[in-house]
Amino acid sequence: MSRPSPSLIRSALAQSSIQTFRPKSHIQIRTLLNAASRSGINTNSIDYRILDGVNGFLEKGNFDRLQEWQVGLWNRLQGEVNNNPALIETKQKWDKYGLDMTDLISTTARDKNLTLAYNYAALLLNNSFFLEGLTTDNAQEVPTEFRDLQEKVEAYADGIVGGGWLWIVRSGDSSSDLDVIPTFASGTLLVSSRSQRGRESTLPLFAEPPTSGSTEPSSSSTESDSSSSTTNDVSQASAPLNKRSGRSHSHRIQYPSPLAVLNLYEHAYLGQKYGVWGKQQYAKDWWKNLDWKKVQKRNSDIAA
């Protein structure tokens, strides 16, 4: 099966309102994302009901901007992977197996010349984790062990200047060892020691493209046949370790382990409801609309 070309993906997005983000209905949002999905872009990572707005939290317009941001980050990451010679191995893996975000972030975090790719990748991972944690269901009861953290979340949100992220984390072996930690700009807690923490590594990120978008022609069948044994050896050695190859490596649990995150970039919350100075209320409403069943499961799944 031939992979979708970048022009096809861009066309699907250009014909929709995902670029201008002035959709008039939830149906229109679904139509544009379905168009993107037909072009090969993953659109299955979040609860689609949130795209119409979360009652008591963010309006639909905010989610429109968050989608625009996510798609823009993917486009820029694809461009960086295709144009930076240092990322040729990442590009080859992405096109053959699908993107291994853990591998990409671990690789780019160690090289200052790959900072741009790291920034795009970490922001994509963080924003997807933020969206994955929301629910439109009726407000869920906050588990007892988390209740003392609410005031800390609100205080941090109100005091942080500039864009960043506010994490609810597991900080120790006990399920009651919980804390709130901020990171700034593209800082992430989701990848450490070449392993992904807090979310299922097999779950594609929101709007994740299937390939790097490369337009390079594939190798001829003659070339493939003549080097098949070598290619097989290389692919086994360089295949991503977390979600595409099916192989996994056990790691000693490292803390803090993220359970949920709040996006503190202005484009996430600005609007009629919160204005410029409403971050504390924004954090308070996020707390009410978290999928606490998911958060609690993440906490319980951490083996001591």
Query: Domains in the chain: how many in total?
Result: 1
The answer to whether residue 222 is domain-embedded is no
The model's pTM is 0.79
Q: CA-to-CA distance for 302 and 304, rounded, in angstroms? A: 6
Give me the domain span that covers residue 290. Answer: 45-198+232-301
CATH number, position 95: 3.55.40.20
| Cα(185)–Cα(165) distance, integer angstroms | 8
The whole-angstrom separation of Cα 284 and Cα 261 is 13
DSSP character for 303? -
**Domain-embedded: residue 16:** no
Reading the block at residue 211, the tokens are: 């390939």
pLDDT tens track, the chain, 304 positions? 444 444 444 444 444 333 333 444 555 555 555 555 544 545 577 888 898 999 999 999 999 999 999 999 999 999 999 999 999 999 999 999 999 999 999 999 999 999 999 999 999 999 999 999 999 998 899 999 999 999 999 999 999 999 999 999 999 999 999 999 999 999 999 998 777 888 887 888 999 999 999 876 544 333 444 443 433 443 333 444 444 433 344 456 789 999 999 999 999 999 999 999 999 999 999 999 999 999 999 999 996 5
In a domain, 245, yes or no: yes
Indicate whether 7 belongs to any domain: no
Q: Does residue 218 fall inside a structural domain?
A: no
Would residue 140 count as lying in a domain?
yes
